[in-house]
Chain A
Amino acid sequence: MPGERLTRILAGLAADDRGRTARGLCEVATDVLAVSGAGVMLMAGDEARGSVCNTNAVSAAIEELQYVLGEGPCVDAYQQDRAVLEPDLADPRTPRWLAFTPKALEAGARAVFGFPLRVGAVRLGALNVYQDRSGPLSDEQHADALVMAEVVAHWLLDVQAEARPGALAEELELGAEFYFVVQNAAGVVSVQLGVTVTEAMIALRAHAFSTDRPLRDVARDVVERKLRFG
């Protein structure tokens, strides 16, 4: 009964005002689903735009990997508009996400699940759930995740409806991770190399890939003037 699930989720959001912050939203998802962690990824035009919230370092890494690599359960869930389930990353039934999988395992995830966020025809991104051990979600967890994804999608539109024109919702400004440091670094590197910011972004990604470092760490070094390009 979706009504009962919804009631449980809404009660979780009401407790301690967790529905007021992006982080609270992901905490409720983790509690309600009884999983190791959850994250919410915002997407547009087949591109990851940022992480609305995540509950720990592992779910943060899962989101960031997808932002950097452009592949993973959330990206697929959004693009294919369906739940994407990988109960065993270490021994996947269908090998996919060649770049994402080893890094996600390294970060501590063993099973990952993506659920599209949508309100009617509007698609916003994906709810990302992970487990630190392999195994499928139960039918209950799966059904809860679908309702949770719906709640998250409405939450996003509701907070944005309150935002000043042209501005991001306060909850997102405060709680979400849009990897702006990477954008800062792209601006810096574009000047250093005398190229466009798009080309600078490619240079940053290439550097992160070849040195096997997180893109965000490379970007931070650039804006702290510890790393120069060109």
Chain B
Amino acid sequence: MARETALVRSLVELADTLVSDFDVIELLTGLANRCVSLLGVSAAGVMLASPDNDLRLAASSSEAMRVLELFELQAQEGPCLDAFRTGEPVEHQNLQAGVGPWPRFASGALEAGFRSAFALPLRLRDRTVGALNLFNAGQTPMTDEDLVVARAFADLAAISVVQHWSTIENQLLNEQLMRALDSRVLIEQAKGVIFERAGIGMAEAFDRLRSYARSHNLRLTKVAQDAIDGSLDPAAWGP
């Protein structure tokens, strides 16, 4: 009962942090720590896919875990990588140095004090965005109940990551929109400056601004800024 209460509280707290501006690394670190406290594993870590689909370390519950996960990435073998590549859970595996599916990884894990490993993909519908690594100093597999909890954590991590990515994408679009608008404002002001200095029409002022930028291989906004600052060569608006 106490564990269920703690679990529900964890899920609610984690879901709460999803609401608006959230730090995805902080959330995933909290999630890794909760895996340790609620699942009875020795260490937990989260890896995320980069835009070019390479796994990168995102969060770890301990320094030993962080080092081992980096080793896993370097060796390009281990439960996390398998879970990510297949999109399927990697069953509990007792580790033996130099043997099994990940001989090099197993040696490193044993050296770090872990004797069994388990991993879940972070999936949202068809998209695998990373993996959750769970390592144990002992060799007892998790119970079915533990597995359900681990799955819930992995799902929550996947949702938070996808949401984080779409937030970044939206922020970028909004910034692009504002930057495009800023550029236009500069150009419109520069048109006014040249209009007055050269005594020509607005359309003509723009043509001269643009042809000067082209013939001198300069960005239009740079030429516009110079016109506004008064540092532009008067030849720019000469006929």
Contact = CB atoms under 8 A, between A and B. Distances in A.
Interface string B15-37: 00000110000000000000000
A153 B165 CA distance: 18
A157 interface: yes
B75 interface: no
Interface in B139-186: 163, 166-167, 170-171, 173-174, 176-181, 183-185
A188 to B, nearest CB: 4
Contact of A188 (B171, B173, B193): B193
Contact of B181 (A49, A165, A190): A49
Interface of A: 42, 44, 49-50, 119-122, 124, 156-157, 160-161, 163, 165-169, 172, 178, 180, 183-192, 197, 223
20 contacts: A44-B178, A50-B181, A120-B167, A120-B170, A121-B171, A122-B173, A124-B174, A124-B177, A160-B174, A163-B176, A166-B180, A168-B184, A180-B184, A184-B189, A187-B188, A188-B196, A190-B193, A191-B196, A191-B197, A197-B193
B170 A183 contact: no
B158 to A, nearest CB: 17
Q: What 7 A-B pairs come out closest when comparing CB atoms?
A: A187-B192, A183-B188, A191-B196, A187-B189, A184-B192, A187-B193, A188-B192
Contacts of B38: none
Contacts of B193: 187-188, 190-191, 197
A190 B228 contact: yes
Contacts of B176: 160, 163, 165-166
Given A120-B163, A121-B171, A187-B190, A178 B195 contact: no
A172 to B, nearest CB: 8
A122 B170 contact: yes
Contact of A168 (B167, B181, B192, B196): B181
Nearest to B167: A120
B123 interface: no
Contacts of A161: 173
A121 B174 contact: no
A185 B191 CA distance: 9
Contacts of B184: 168, 178, 180
B196 A192 contact: yes
Contact of A223 (B167, B192, B194): B192
B202 interface: yes
A157 B188 contact: no
Nearest to A120: B167
Say which size band chain B's interface belongs to: 20 to 34
Contact of A119 (B170, B179, B180): B170
Contacts of B20: 120-121
Given A121-B21, A186-B189, 20 more contacts: A44-B178, A120-B20, A122-B167, A122-B171, A122-B174, A160-B176, A163-B180, A168-B181, A178-B181, A180-B184, A180-B185, A183-B189, A183-B192, A184-B202, A187-B190, A187-B191, A188-B195, A190-B193, A190-B228, A197-B228
Contacts of A190: 189, 192-193, 228
Nearest to A81: B20
A189 B167 CA distance: 41
Given A184-B191, A191-B197, A168 B174 contact: no
Contact of B180 (A157, A167, A186, A223): A167
Contact of B173 (A157, A167, A184, A187): A157
A167 B184 CA distance: 9
A44 B174 CA distance: 9
Contacts of B178: 44, 49
A161 B166 CA distance: 13
Contacts of A44: 178, 181
Interface in B93-150: none
Contacts of A49: 178, 181
Contacts of A124: 174, 177
